[in-house]
Amino acid sequence: MTAFRGCPKLPERLLQNARVLPDREAMLGSLPKGKIFAEIGVLLGDFSEKILRICKPHHFVGIDVFHIHELPMLWGKPTEEVLSNRTHGAFYRDRFADFIGQGRMTVLEEDSVTAMGRLPDDSLDIVYVDADHSYDAVCRDLSIVKYKVRDDGLIIMNDYTMSDVLGGLGPYGVIQATHEFMLAEGWEMIFLALQEYMYCDVVLRKIAA
């Protein structure tokens, strides 16, 4: 099992504008509307649907490797049953066919770093990071996401928790990588959205120079 990694303490200046919210739906309701929004790691699209409904983005980019169909079981059911005998990518695209057809959604079927590399710098307003939660992977995601988000944009980190207490996947590296990024790049926390098992979300904003 991967060992737990400590994380640096955040100074008050990176937390002084932070608010605690009851859940991530409340977080979405507190975000600006009509923006260009990217979600890295979309699974089956349940949270994508909430983003589209609550935040009403001008354009939405869904990014995932879309390999769930390769698993024999998902949530105690045969995966082919959950996906209605479709591939993961086809299931997601079918679910949001109207948005895609209207030109309001782009779907990128690649790993997060490759997909983000295809997007122009300073082209996104909000990025929701929910991909590989290992420390190295989160660091890689943040190292490229910071170039894709506009100076007045937001980065949201999913599963801001030390360990996967329900899935048994062991230690995460989200908190550690997030704190290091905030300290090195000058981003502050503006929201901490709670979750019943403490799989929290945090919203980050770049501090004005």
The percent of residues above 70 in pLDDT, for the chain, comes to 98
Average pLDDT, the chain: 95
Q: Among candidates 111, 163, 175, which has minimal Cα distance to 141? A: 111
CATH topology of domain 12-206: Rossmann fold (3.40.50)
Q: Which residue has the tokens 């007045």?
A: 152
E strand or H helix at 146, and its extent? helix 135-148
Q: What is the pLDDT of residue 2?
A: 59
pLDDT digits (tens, 9 = 90+) for 172-202: 999 999 999 999 999 999 999 999 999 999 9
Using an 8 Å Cβ cutoff, are 40 and 128 in contact?
A: yes
* 77-128 per-position pLDDT tens digit: 999 999 999 999 999 999 999 999 999 999 999 999 999 999 999 999 999 9
For residue 123, what are its two tokens? 């082209």
Residue ranges per structural domain of the chain: 12-206
For residue 154, the tally of other CB atoms under 10 A from its CB is 22
Two tokens, residue 35: 């923006």
- The whole-number pLDDT of residue 1 equals 46
